[in-house]
Amino acid sequence: MITISVVSHGQSALVEQFLKDLARLDVSMITEVLITLNIPEEILFEPDNFPYPVNVLRNTAPGDLVRIIMLPSGKQRENGSVF
């Protein structure tokens, strides 16, 4: 199983295109795609519109990125926010 992690720095449109491109492939091995918004931004896509789970994480403070990535799965997603 594969988890893909993408970090966006205000590039929601590029992330959306990546997710669409990824959906054209065999996604049977993808467990989830984690999208970390490293700065405040609105996402331009609906995470539920893809053939694999897409979890959007919002970085709440500069420097938290490593902490977000290193947390075990689930801890940062309990209520839809990171912390």
Q: What is the pLDDT of residues 43-75, one digit of tens each?
A: 989 999 999 999 999 887 766 555 555 555 544
CA-to-CA separations, 20 to 7, 31, 34, 35, 61, in angstroms, rounded: 16, 16, 15, 14, 29
Instruction: Please name every residue paired with 82 in a beta bridge, in sequence order, or none if there are none.
Output: none
**CA within 13 Å, CB half, 5:** 12
Cβ neighbourhood burial of 21 (10 Å; 0-12, 13-18, 19+): exposed
Q: Which residue has the tokens 């669409």?
A: 20
**pLDDT tens figures, 9-47:** 999 999 999 999 999 999 999 999 999 998 899 998 999
Where exactly are the structural domains of the chain?
2-74
